[in-house]
Amino acid sequence: MVCVEVEHLDKSFGGVAAISDLTFKVQEGIIFSVIGPNGAGKTTLFNLLTGLYRPSGGAIRIKGKDIRGLKPHEIASLGVTRTFQNLQVFMNMTVLENVMVGCHMRSRSGLIAGALRLPSVLREERRVREMAMEALEFCDMADLAGRDADSLAYGLLKKLEIARALAAAPGLLLMDEPAAGLNDTETLMMGRLIERICKRGTTVLLVEHNMGLVMGISHGVLVLNYGRLLAQGSPEEVQRNPEVIAAYLGDEG
């Protein structure tokens, strides 16, 4: 089964092409990485896939559904969730509350029912709390549920963002540089967490600069250069590709 299909995708900002004629497919149930130098268009691609940006041309299908013209929340309701390159954590809330925000996309009761505190809403809140706790447990953070987010070290804040994304029970998770700023041990643990996320049935689209992490856990890798596809294949194929070595991996030493 194909999870993501991108066809001849274009996105330009006032004449500057951030994504040019990009075509690729991501099978369901895998970890698929998008790599490339700064400015290659990786975050733009995520913004297109989540509906924050509208394509200038081309098509995107997620689980067979054409997402052109859909709003971000409509794409989210297809089971698409993301984490951000820059942390998006509510520092004035607890860890658990932060994760509960992620569940609210899944919750059924509306705002008015919520304001009236109907029994159905109270049940719903209990359910949301349970889902959030499950996501925290999955990320080995259950013991931190009551802590204020602003008391967490950076590495834990990165995991908190992932827990919140998982609370929405995504079928497709887009992760934008989850290992940025992490030390070697934390990066290893992040890799294991991403593998566990994939094993539980979530397709992962990963943007990441740490090549050890990318090549260690990805089933497929796509290399972007100036918004264009430079190469695509298994980690081994991509690492052997002379154009990739020249354009990108070579710079990394």
Ligand X SMILES: Nc1ncnc2c1ncn2[C@@H]1O[C@H](COP(=O)(O)OP(=O)(O)O)[C@@H](O)[C@H]1O
| Contacting residues toward ligand X, per CB under 6 A | 13, 16, 18, 36, 38-44
83 binds Mg ion (CB under 5 A): no
CB of 4 to Mg ion, least distance (A): 18
Which of ligand X, Mg ion, none does residue 185 bind to, with CB < 5 to 8 Å depending on kind?
none
Indicate the residue type of 141.
Answer: M
139 vs 174 by CB, closer to Mg ion: 174
218 binds Mg ion (CB under 5 A): no
41 vs 51 by CB, closer to ligand X: 41
Helix axes of 154-167 and 184-199: crossing angle, nearest 10 degrees: 10
Site size for Mg ion (CB under 5 A): 3
Q: Contacting Mg ion (CB under 5 A), which of 43, 187, 232, 241?
A: 43
Which of Mg ion, ligand X, none does residue 40 bind to, with CB < 5 to 8 Å depending on kind?
ligand X
47 binds Mg ion (CB under 5 A): no
CB of 74 to ligand X, least distance (A): 21
CB of 232 to ligand X, least distance (A): 16
CB of 214 to ligand X, least distance (A): 14
Which of Mg ion, ligand X, none does residue 112 bind to, with CB < 5 to 8 Å depending on kind?
none
CB of 8 to ligand X, least distance (A): 18
